[in-house]
Chains A and B, each alone.
Chain A
C-alpha cells in the first residue's frame, strides 16, 4: 500500500514537470498549428541560464527563496528572449510557406540548439547549484515527499490557471484565440497577428525556462541534450490531453507521469520511454484529438 502511494506521489511530481513543458508546446500549437520541436531545447537553455546565473551570483552558497525567484525570473526572461528570436528568425519568414517546411525548420532549430549547446556549454553533465532547499521533508512513516516536488506541482497548477486567465479573460488572450482561429481573419479585424504570435512564443518559452530551473533544482544534473527526450515526452503529454488545450496538457502530463511511475515501479523499467510513444500511437488511433480536444472541421 505504502509503495502504491509512494509511486503515486512520484508519478504526480514527474507529471507536473512534464506539464510545465507541455504547456508551452500546446500554446504554440494552439495558435500556429506548429509543433515547436525546439521547445524542449528552450527548456534546456533555461536550465543553463539558471545555472550560470546562480554561479555568477554565488547563490549556491546561500540558498533562499529569494535566490530561487531571482534565478527563475532571469531564466524566464532569457528564454522569452530566446523564444522571440527563434520565432522571428526561423519561423516568421516561413509564415506563408507550406506547414511541413515549418515543421522541418523546427526540427532544425532543435538540433541547432542541442549541438550549439554542446559547443558553448560543453557536453559533459553539469551540476545545478542548490539555490533553494527545504530541510524538513514531509514524511508519513515510509512515505517520503520531497517538498520541492510539491512546490513544482503547485507551480504548474498555478501557471496553468494563469494561462487560462490570460487566454480567456484578457485582451491579448482574445487576440490569441482569434489568431488561432484564423490568422487572415484576425488581421482583417485589426489584430496584429505577428505581435500576438511573438507574445505566445515568449510566454511559452518563459514557461519552459521556469521548467528548466525547477528540474535543475530537483534533478541537479543538466546537460545540453536534456531537452530532447523531455521535449518528446511533453509533446506526447500535450497530444494526449488534446494539443492546443491548456487543461489537457496538464492532465495529459500527469497521466503520463503516473503511468511511467507505476510501470517502472511494478517491474518494467525498460519500457519507460516506449510507454510514452505507445500512448501516442494509441491516442492517435483511438481519439486523435486527445482527451480534451475538440474536432474542428475544415471549412472551404
Chain B
C-alpha cells in the first residue's frame, strides 16, 4: 500500500500528464492545390465553432453561408458549376481549427476556405491557407493581424481599430462619459486588440481609462475584478469579450451595485447574451456589423429570406457569413478561370460590392472599409442606435 504522500504525488503527476497530452496535435501540410477544378461543383470549405462554448458563432455563420450558396446555386451557380459546402467543426479551439483547415485543403481539395469568427482561430487557419495558396475569407474576424498573414487571406468585416474607435467615440459623444473602466479577456486576441484600440482613441479624445482589468475566457466569477473597478467609480465599463462571459459579468456588476452601462463589440452578438444577462444587461451598448432593423431593401430582403428558412432573425454573424459567401461567388464569377490564383486576384479587386452589412470594397490590406452600427440592449432584444461611418 502506498503512503498518502506518494498517492497524492502520483495523482498530481497524472494530472500534469493529462494536461500535456491534451495539448499535442499534429498537423501536416502537403502539396498545393493549384489546378483548376474538374467536374461541375466548386468545393468550398468552412471551419466554424459548431459546438463548444461559442457554438452560436459557428451555427449563425454557417446558416448565413448556407443560405447564400443555396440562392446562388438556385440562380444557376458560377460558370455553370454549383457550390458544395464542406463544414468542419473546430469546437472553438484554435488547434482544432488548424487541423480542420489542413484536412479541408489537403484531403478534400477545396478551392476556397471560409471562416472563422474568432480571430484566434482565424489566425491559426490563415498560415495554412496561405502556404497552400488557397484563398480564405473570414466573415467576421476583426483582429488586424488576421489578413496580415498573407495575400490569400481576406475578410469582409471591419477591423478592430475601427470598431474600438466607434465605441470610444460613441462613449464620448453620445453617452458623454469621461471615465471608463476596461475589462478585457486576456486569452482572446480579439478582446485584447479591441481593448487596446478603444483605449487609444478614448484617451486621445479626452477620455480617461480609470482602470484596466482582465479575466480569462471560461471564468465564472468576476466579482473581484468588478470590485476593483467599482473602487475607481467609472461611468461606463468597456467589456470587449464574448457573449459567454458578458452575461455573467453584467449580472455580477449589478449585484455589486455597479449601475453603469457596459459597452462591447460584435462578440456580444448572440441570443444567449440577453438570456444569461437577463435584466442586468439591459441598457448596455455594443458595436456590430449590421442591424436587422435597418430599413434598406437589401437588409430587409435578407432578413425575410433568412427568417423563412431558419425561423429566426439573423444576427450579425449570419449576415457576415452570407456576405462572405456572396463576395466569394462574385469574385469567382469575375475571375477569368477558377484557379486559386485567378480567384485570389478577383477577390482582391472586389469593389463596391453591395453586401447586407454594407458596401464592401477591399483595400490593399485585403480589409474592407465599411460602417458599423451601435446597438442598445433593450427589452430582451437590440435597439438600433446609430451608424458610424469610417
- Give the B-binding residues of A (Cβ under 8 A): 2-3, 6-7, 10-11, 14, 33, 35, 99-100, 103-104, 107, 118, 122-125, 127, 130, 137, 139, 142, 144, 146, 215, 219-221, 223, 225-226, 229, 232, 235, 239, 243-244, 260-267, 269-270, 272-273, 280, 284, 288-289, 293, 295-298
Q: Which of B79-87, B165-173, B214-222, B302-310 lies on the face that meets chain A?
A: B214-222
Q: Which residue of A lies closest to B56 (CB)?
A: A124
A270 adjacent to B186 (CB under 8 Å): yes
* 11 sample A-B contacts, Cβ–Cβ < 8 Å, listed by A number: A6-B230, A123-B52, A124-B272, A144-B256, A220-B276, A221-B220, A221-B276, A239-B12, A243-B8, A265-B228, A284-B8
A103-B51 contact in complex given A261-B224, A297-B3, C-beta closer than 8 Å: no
Residues of A contacting B215 in the complex (Cβ-Cβ under 8 angstroms): 269
Complex CA–CA separation, A269 to B225 (angstroms): 7
Q: Which residue of B lies closest to A3 (CB)?
A: B231
B11 adjacent to A103 (CB under 8 Å): yes
Q: Which residue of B lies closest to A229 (CB)?
A: B218
**Residue total for B at the interface (Cβ-Cβ under 8 A):** 49
A137 adjacent to B255 (CB under 8 Å): yes
Minimum CB–CB distance from A16 to chain B (whole Å) comes to: 12
Complex CA–CA separation, A272 to B14 (angstroms): 22
A295 adjacent to B224 (CB under 8 Å): no
Complex CA–CA separation, A138 to B220 (angstroms): 22
- Grouping DSSP codes into helix (H, G, I), strand (E, B) and loop, the B interface class, with mixed when no group exceeds half, is helix
Complex CA–CA separation, A232 to B216 (angstroms): 16
Question: Does B377 sit at the interface, judged by CB under 8 A?
Answer: no
Minimum CB–CB distance from A144 to chain B (whole Å) comes to: 5
Residues of B contacting A263 in the complex (Cβ-Cβ under 8 angstroms): 224
- Give the A-binding residues of B (Cβ under 8 A): 1-5, 7-12, 14-15, 18, 51-56, 91-92, 186, 213-216, 218-221, 223-225, 227-228, 230-231, 244, 247-248, 251, 255-257, 272, 275-276, 278
Minimum CB–CB distance from B293 to chain A (whole Å) comes to: 25
Interface residue from A7, A139, A297 paired with B224 (Cβ < 8 Å): A7
Complex CA–CA separation, A267 to B211 (angstroms): 10
B14 adjacent to A103 (CB under 8 Å): yes
B255 adjacent to A146 (CB under 8 Å): yes
B224 adjacent to A260 (CB under 8 Å): yes
A220 adjacent to B251 (CB under 8 Å): yes
Residues of A contacting B56 in the complex (Cβ-Cβ under 8 angstroms): 124
Residues of A contacting B230 in the complex (Cβ-Cβ under 8 angstroms): 3, 6, 142
